[in-house]
Amino acid sequence: MRIIKKYLLALSVVALFGSCDDNIINTEERDALAENQILNIGGLEATMFQVYERTRSIHEDADISIYKICGDDLSIQGTNMPDSPIGGIQGMNSYASGFSPSSINVYNIWNSMYNSLANCNRVIANTIVPKDATETAKISRFVGEAHAMRAYLYLELVERFENIPLAKLLPAGQEPQREAPLEDKSVIYKQIIDDCNAAIPLLQARGGTTGVTAPSKGLAYHILSLAYMDLGKWAEAAVAAENVISQGGYTLQPLDKIFALSADKVAENNNELIFSFGFDKSVVNRKNRMIMMMVPLYDRVNGVARDLNSGGRPYARLSPNDYYFSLFESTDLRVNAWHKLTWKFDVDISGDAIVPGSGFKIGDVVTPAYVALSGASIEPNKGARIIERACTKLWEDGTYGRLRDDAEGFRNVIVYRLAQAYLIAAEAHWRNGNSSRALQLINKIRERAFGNTSRNYTALTQDIILDENARELGFEGHRWALLKRMGLLVERVKAHNAVASTNILPKHVSWPLPQSFVDLAKVKQNTGWDN
């Protein structure tokens, strides 16, 4: 870390296009970067560190931190979502008019990713001559990580924005330029596939890495499988996903272990996780701002105290909707493992007392009928929604020193896990005509969910696959892209996302390009967003 800190003092994000005054992709952080800092191992390490830091920073911004779980068919707008900017997660979820090309929040996501792409390019283009085998191995590892992260970033961008510019590192001495032409998405997917294939031989399996926050061979295979799924190349997707399962060094974990925390972070390095953005409680100014977003306003109930085991400080931006819960059978163990279904009275003191004469006492479950009583809630206008069911996958307790009033924490952000690889492989095999293998794979997920084989599938359909994805991966950031790939985003949002149902239009299957980029690069705005 000493080397990293030393170089981070001087490192800045490298502009992709533009002059010091007119950058198209990046308009900030143009500090000088000495040549020798990218021409040695320490410089490579520091540059890759900044790739992770810049990409992770999206999840440190409360206005965009949960953008990947917004705007699908599984959630209902939380009671306090209107406190968020309309151009940020509020508009990303509701598709309201404030979600537009001029949104600074859309620009911030775009800018963070392109800044990270710039540093990936620098690492890949390095000209370091290694002094020995140790340095050779380190350079190969960093270049492999850069290829994997470049593939990840391009996949995120192309799925959201469709046609985008390729980030190119200008040759030494060449003047900055405004031109940043949009590439057809086929070009971007080719780059993703090329990067994954370049990364695979350079990276180790998960067990040979420094942990879940380091790109691994399995991560490259996983991104490759997702790219092939987007392209409809089922056979290739099946092979890539099978490689995650067989070569990645991962194993499915018990339901209660997947999202567990431990003071030494070991729990967050469990072998189901393929890749996470890491947070460290010793770095106090870099905090995860996702952890409170799916906590309803339970502490507004008189007789229910704010408590870290109940989610701590609530932000109430999103909650699972009734449709989501309707997908689960009563014996599905995931329901209780990953959700909080009821709230109980746990305090009865002056200023936070159970309503006298209500018949309720400490230990009883809070009911909608209680919340409707006069004096039962400090926000009566929000009704029983303050005790609605919650998904706990993002929550953080006091393991890392979080206090009950803190609106941030230090749990990692899980990007991919092994269960998704099983579901990708199952769908790819099914679409490619190998139903037998598809059933074997999806039933591994079912057997864990039910503790036995009693609820195994005997046949598959697209709806079954879609529903199993919701049960297993809901609120982990994959649903929006899955619905888009299947051509169901608009239909499903209209059917199940109450706040978005009247707003979503065909244009919303692609996000708007940031208008500042469109104006400076003089490129065509995405269809439907140019007026």
CA distance 343 to 364: 8
The whole-number pLDDT of residue 25 equals 37
In tens, the pLDDT along 429-484 reads 999 999 999 999 999 999 999 999 999 999 999 999 999 999 999 999 999 999 99
**Which bin fits 279, alpha (ψ -120 to 50), beta or left (φ > 0)?**
beta
Would the CA dihedral through 48, 279, 158, 514 be positive or negative?
negative
Beta carbons of 274 and 421 less than 8 angstroms apart: yes
Specify burial of residue 450 (Cβ count, 10 A radius: 0-12, 13-18, 19+): middle
Sign (positive/negative) of CA torsion 368, 374, 376, 377? Answer: positive
The CATH code belonging to domain 29-203+488-530 is: 1.25.40.890
Amino acid at 173: G
Position 209 scores a pLDDT of 74
What pLDDT, on the 0 to 100 scale, is given for residue 210?
73
- Which pair of structure tokens corresponds to residue 117? 């792409």
**Where along the chain do the CATH 1.25.40.890 domains lie?**
29-203+488-530
pTM for this one? 0.92
Q: How far apart are CA 67 and CA 84, in angstroms?
A: 12
Provide DSSP, 233-298: -HHHHHHHHHHHHHHS------HHHHT---TTS-GGG-TTEEEEE---TTSTT--BS-TTTT---G
Residue whose pair of structure tokens reads 């080719």 in the numeric block: 190
- Of 73, 74, 57, nearest to 65 by C-alpha is 57
CA atoms in the 13 A half-sphere facing the CB of 226:
28
Q: Which residues pair with 276 in a beta bridge?
A: 414
CA angle 301, 303, 309 (to 5 degrees): 85
- Sequential pLDDT tens for the chain (531 residues): 333 222 222 222 233 333 232 333 332 332 333 333 577 999 999 999 999 999 999 999 999 999 999 999 999 999 999 999 999 999 999 999 999 999 999 999 999 999 999 999 999 999 999 999 999 999 999 999 999 999 999 999 999 999 999 998 766 666 666 678 999 999 999 999 999 999 999 999 987 777 899 999 999 999 999 999 999 999 999 999 999 999 988 999 999 999 999 999 999 999 999 999 999 999 999 999 999 999 999 999 999 999 999 999 999 999 999 999 999 999 999 999 999 999 999 999 999 999 999 999 999 999 999 999 999 999 999 999 999 999 999 999 999 999 999 999 999 999 999 999 999 999 999 999 999 999 999 999 999 999 999 999 999 999 999 999 999 999 999 999 999 999 999 999 999 999 999 999 999 999 999 999 999 999 999 999 986
Rounded distance, CA 78 to CA 86, Å?
14
d(CA 5, CA 94): 41
For residues 241 and 426, what is the distance between their CA atoms, to the nearest angstrom?
9
| Whole-number pLDDT of residue 207 | 79
Q: Are 441 and 428 in contact (CB under 8 A)?
A: no
State residue 176's pLDDT score. Answer: 62
Convert the pLDDT of each residue in 227-278 to its tens digit.
Answer: 999 999 999 999 999 999 999 889 999 999 999 999 999 999 999 999 999 9
* Tally of residues, the chain: 531
